Structure 1
């Protein structure tokens, strides 16, 4: 097995600037010309017509490949002929389904540990692109927020630079700040603090890195739509929100748009040293969004009893959040924790001086056209008197902020 790996990825590490010359210039013909070609690195030659069964000159290591975002990024990279090295932790069956994101022999798996530098060096040895999608929504006894978002990101960026990697893509978070706004947690969100420290660490170790700051990302198997659909987030049919959700503004983005932006940034050498805000095309009040989610699932006030109320007047819900953290610390039931509730009610801050996904040429997906399809499995009473595939009247769209 090891010999086959060496043969497959031998001499893949490019010279500085070679990636921009052979694989990051969309205007260049697909077949490599004689200029700027390193003839000793035969594996760098582009082969094929540019599709799944081709090789586009990019060998990408994707950390966090088995996560929600990672699956979409790997799929899009594999479709354009990228050789993928996918590190994983835990059971070796976890990344099994990612085997088909690329052509036969183009996807390689290897176990690693974020605190073990030797295991990281092995998966970086032959790569010219590294994508860091590692993140945690809650802390465990093995990995704190700082271990993952700050120290782990610094370690990956440093080792990538030492390995001669040309492009480093790092996933941060919108609202990342060393001094975030406080709503419930004293001192603000530790998640956002460590994300901000992680950005500084990555740029310090890898100055040419590209950073993405996504807003709430929704899609298949997300933790945004499903968070509000989970029974544990509600109190019977009522949904507690801070200030009834009227003082929080959100700009959610679809997962395929973020993944497409990452791939576009890899192809574009001008994206180096830039921070992109991955946000959706429209901005909404949180109360308007959750009302729309419940309209999509036919959980209306008239037919189901849905209503919102101010959570700060409900000590029982606050107790439920605290007990959930204490009794299920490794995987909070319904993703419910004070850290999640804190970030849930922070308004998305968009900085006009920073580029967005649209600057990468991405055509953004709107909430009203995508969310009804995403929420079809949660339609209330879908199998009582009618089928889930029966045509239904589209719910009234949410009102966007002008």
Structure 2
């Protein structure tokens, strides 16, 4: 050992005691610097957050507040829906874990039967996403700068559709000019055919763009797409056009029209048997050409005293513009005025198919004229005052 030095063995180097003290001071200083640096970073982060909150626009704050309220509301509704579905599955004796929406609809129809004609008026239980309307996401950033270039029009997504349609029309005009220069004409077999489709309605369009529209906006939308679909080369944009069309209702059953017979006067005759409505039964005969004569059990249309029954009977003739072109003879029995008028109405509509083209028949089907109404009065239940009415229960 040498005086004044304490040699300490180190696998890498030999240092003395004074050097060890210096290293401890250095390490302590580094730790303090590191702590100070971390504090400075946190301070800078908090300052940045404060600055970001200060630069956040009022619109973004309102949107975030409404979005939070909406999320909480949807979460509550979703929880209630799951509870209701579980109770419904237990009532039907099914497994709640495998109980689908189809099973829910069938259970509702079984447990809560309804004779209401409109399906929207019947009881239902759907998920909140299907019941409550959709909400738009944020359309602007924290500083209030809008994302969409048509934001200030008030309806950016609607005008985006019109903008895209006009852009596609301009592209088709350029393509048509190029074909004309080459001396080519469009192939008629490739023409865009929309006979089996119809434009989406105003409500469906509002759901698609998540914006409220006026009737004028909807008319502008229809006129723009019709103009696009009528161009010679519109088949090139078929996918875009069909995006805003929906096919007509698929015919689950196709019934051929009755073949008309020829009577002694040379007129075509069609007879429809077993026309039903409630408890009324009718047999309707149509003769064409005619003068619009109506015979019901040997009387004219005054057979019905109320105006509503007369309007029901004349509606198929007015809808098809055949009120002065055919003669109607009907024999009806049983039921009341409403049931008898409904039976004759269905017989007239069913017989008119023999004198109309396919397009008019399709319109009649969409209007509900070709659908037989099988609804009848619900019977009284034993132990009850009526079909649904219960006796008054008193405890004392």
- Of structures 1 and 2, the one scoring higher in RCO (CA 8 A, sep 6+) is 1
TM-score range, shorter chain: under 0.3
Structure (1 or 2) with the greater helix fraction: 2
Between structure 1 and structure 2, the one with the greater Rg is 2
With normalisation by structure 2, the TM-score equals 0.23
